[in-house]
Amino acid sequence: MAASEQSANKQFGGWNRRYTHDSQVLGCSMTFTVYFPPAAEEGSVPVLYFLSGLTCDDQNFITKAGAQRKASELGIALVSPDTSPRADVPGENDKMEVGSAAGFYLNATEGKWKKNYQMYDYIVKELPSVLKGLKGLQIEKASIMGHSMGGHGALIIGLRNPDKYAAISAFAPISNPSTTPMGSTALAAYLGDDKSAWKQYDATEVAKSYHGPSKKILIDQGTSDNFWKENLKPENFKEAAPKELSVELRHQDGYNHSYFFISTFVEDHVAFHAAQLQ
């Protein structure tokens, strides 16, 4: 599972390093990128995972969000994995919501998807093990955030593994997928028609039964986001959250679903996680 470095680009005194490795969990070669702040050259630094959304790969966040400036300042490594296996499953490019670049950060149980589409286990178990082989990362000290489908992933992974992640944040997350057209399409394809099986990957449903340690959650939602009302529903998540979850939901006037939105507020998120990690 050792990672092989493919490229390196210096930024704000640190390095964006892109790696490939053979994934046993996903049954294919996978790519991820890590931004190492300057502090990683002197010792081990905490890790902040960013899970990207539909149609993205490991590079979108790294090249568009501009998070490296704050990560460099605060001494945090940014880890950006890919959004799905790249296993050449037949038909994986037929729908935006299912297949390539649409792994939904779950473990598929249905048909052609179940062999390779195990993104939940990849993010929670295998990727951290691979990262342990890289110098300068304090894997045991981690936090998680994401955008859209990746915001969904950050919420469910963070809530289901509260001892692994110091805090959770999201930009325009798919927060209640079992009640939305986009989310239902993905969940039905990967998990089948039994909607009770969907609940473990629906952040609003997971929040309803959460009884773990207190956790801070920051969510930003743009008010000009075309996906907001029908497919995201972060308000449902906030309403369902129990007292153990301190959810700050900020509605950002005029912002849409793009990286223009993410780049405007990403430094807030990096600082939010740094405070919890420290």
Active-site residue list: 148, 225, 257
Which two structure tokens, joined as six digits, stand for 131?
């990262």
- C-alpha distances (whole Å) from 123 to each of 25, 26, 261, 263 are 10, 11, 25, 24
Burial string for 30-66 (b: 16+ CB within 10 Å, else e) reads bbbbbbbbebbeeeebbbbbbbbbbebbbebbbebbb
User: 256 Cβ partners below 8 Å, 6+ apart?
Assistant: 222, 224, 225, 226
Residue for token pair 């859209």: 148
H or E segment at 29? Answer: strand 28-36
